[in-house]
Amino acid sequence: MSLNSRDIRTAIEAKWHESLSKYGHLFSSDSLSGTSPPSVFVGSYGYPKVSVGPMVPPIHGDTSLLDSPEKWKGKSLEEIVNFRLNLIRGVKKISNDQTDGRYIESLQEVTMSSKPTDADLLFQKPTSPKVSLDGESAPFGPVGEIKSAKFSGTSSVKSIEKIFYDKDLKAQDAVMTLYNSGIEISKIQKCFSIGMMGKKRKLVPTKWSITATDDIISKSLADDVLDYSLIDSCKVFSYDHLGNSFSVVLFPHRWIYEMIESWYSDGILGFGSDYEDARGIHHPPAIAGAYFAAKLGVLEYLSKKKIQAGVIILREIRPEYAVPVGVWQVREGIREAMKQKPILSDNFDNALHVASQKMSISKSEWLSHGNISALMRQKTLSDFF
């Protein structure tokens, strides 16, 4: 018997309560001792005053897996939700332009650390077992207002330390310096969020920093890709995980890109899409962070292969994806798709047919909710400049 999304959500919520009962005395306590992965979080509610603090599980040891989405390949939705549920978020309300002072500087040291960091937190009052979910960042467990926080055992990543102390380096250049030195994107996002980059430093809500980091890196990669030769045939890449099905179509064309999403809500099929040409995106994105996360994943492939192509990405969000775990799963899903052996096609129409066969949605439905046909009518360089 198949489960609908409500059944799956109920099953996962049962797992949440199972985890809560396991650490219940700690979750309801006014103190916490544990090892941060390391992890920090900046909320968006009340901006420009933001809630800033570490995320710490009530356990000691190597907790890095709890906040390392690049290492979650093959994990189930329930496993990932339970990783995150164990992270208790401490918060203090701070103005977004306050990027110095003992508390913030301690969090910056935690963020720079190359290994999990021991933390001892005291809260103003006992935490309550409330789970936070939004579509951009990964979920986490209860929240507590910090009375005091102590950290120990940090060991700075030298490349991060270098950009932190370079107050003349632009934020975009800092992001690319770390990316090109091999720092994981999830780590770069935290540095961006906790006010460690740029000339005029600010605290940036985590969900905004995720999209900003993906956007900065993908723009830089796209600039490089525009100088490469076009591919000579169509290729279709596919990958499924966590109730998400992805198909990526590459076709011979100067860089244009569209992502179309579909999802199910109470049995009704919904769609959303965003697109750009070689000049970039020039409208408010409808599908937000997922668009930039997917764009980065496919541009990494084109950059590595030193080729240029038009790209269309189809994403079917199935009912099994009952709990949103963040746009990292889109980026990692596309990265994995681009590692698969592609199906070759001699024309764009057939490539879209192959891509849609991987889904439960027809090619005509995908096309009717996208803009790629209009984009493809642009045939010359003068159309882009």
pLDDT at site 289 = 92
Closest CA to 131 of 190, 88, 100: 88
Decide if 235 contacts 337 (C-beta within 8 A).
no
pLDDT (average), residues 53-71: 95
∠ Cα 297 363 136 (to 5°): 35
In angstroms, rounded to a whole number, what is the distance separating the alpha carbons of residues 110 and 41?
A: 12
In angstroms, rounded to a whole number, what is the distance separating the alpha carbons of residues 238 and 359?
A: 10
284 vs 252, residue with greater confidence:
252
Q: What is the mean pLDDT of the chain?
A: 89
In angstroms, rounded to a whole number, what is the distance separating the alpha carbons of residues 342 and 321?
A: 25
Q: Which two tokens stand for residue 239?
A: 């990958």
pLDDT at site 283 = 81
pLDDT at site 24 = 40
pLDDT at site 137 = 73
361 vs 384, residue with greater confidence:
361
pLDDT at site 365 = 93
Decide if 80 contacts 332 (C-beta within 8 A).
no
Q: Is the dihedral of CA 160, 162, 165, 168 positive or negative?
A: negative
pLDDT at site 133 = 63
pLDDT at site 2 = 35
User: How many of the other CB atoms lie within 10 Å of CB of 76?
Assistant: 12
* Model pLDDT for residues 167-221, shown as the tens digit of each residue: 999 999 999 999 999 999 999 999 999 999 999 999 999 999 999 999 999 999 9
In angstroms, rounded to a whole number, what is the distance separating the alpha carbons of residues 302 and 308?
A: 6
pLDDT (average), residues 118-122: 97
- Listed range (16-25, 154-163, 310-319, 359-368) with the worst mean pLDDT: 16-25
- Listed range (138-142, 250-254, 317-321) with the worst mean pLDDT: 138-142
Peptide bond before residue 69 is cis, with ω within 30 degrees of 0: no
Rounded percentage of the chain residues whose pLDDT exceeds 70? 87
- Best-predicted range by mean pLDDT (71-80, 233-242, 364-373): 233-242
Q: Which two tokens stand for residue 62?
A: 């190597």
User: What's at 348, amino acid-wise?
Assistant: F
Q: Is the pLDDT of residue 306 over 50?
A: yes
pLDDT at site 184 = 97
**Maximum separation of any 2 CA atoms in the chain, in Å:** 66
pLDDT (average), residues 352-358: 94
In angstroms, rounded to a whole number, what is the distance separating the alpha carbons of residues 200 and 210?
A: 19
∠ Cα 16 123 324 (to 5°): 30
pLDDT (average), residues 281-307: 93
* Model pLDDT for residues 2-56, shown as the tens digit of each residue: 334 445 445 445 554 554 444 444 456 799 999 999 999 999 999 999 999 999 9
pLDDT at site 271 = 94
Q: pTM of this prediction? A: 0.89
Closest CA to 135 of 267, 261, 24, 253: 261
Q: Which residue in the block uniquely carries the two structure tokens 């979650």?
A: 72
Rounded percentage of the chain residues whose pLDDT exceeds 90? 74
pLDDT at site 302 = 98
Query: Can you give the residue ranges of every domain in the chain?
Result: 5-157, 226-383
Query: In a 10 Å sphere around its CB, with 0-12 CB exposed, 13-18 middle and 19+ buried, how is residue 304 labelled?
Result: exposed
pLDDT at site 267 = 80
Query: In a 10 Å sphere around its CB, with 0-12 CB exposed, 13-18 middle and 19+ buried, how is residue 282 labelled?
Result: exposed
- 138 pLDDT band, cuts 50/70/90, is confident
Peptide bond before residue 38 is cis, with ω within 30 degrees of 0: yes
Q: At what angle do helices 158-165 and 171-180 cross, to 10 degrees?
A: 170
In angstroms, rounded to a whole number, what is the distance separating the alpha carbons of residues 23 and 20?
A: 5
Distances (CA, A) of 178 to 83, 219, 220, 223, 251: 26, 15, 13, 18, 31
pLDDT (average), residues 300-308: 98
Query: Measured between alpha carbons, how far apart are the two ends of the chain, in Å?
Result: 55
Query: In a 10 Å sphere around its CB, with 0-12 CB exposed, 13-18 middle and 19+ buried, how is residue 168 labelled?
Result: exposed
Q: Is the pLDDT of residue 127 over 50?
A: yes
Decide if 327 contacts 69 (C-beta within 8 A).
no
Closest CA to 74 of 298, 295, 240: 240
Q: Which residues pair with 122 in a beta bridge?
A: 31, 148
User: How many of the other CB atoms lie within 10 Å of CB of 265?
Assistant: 10
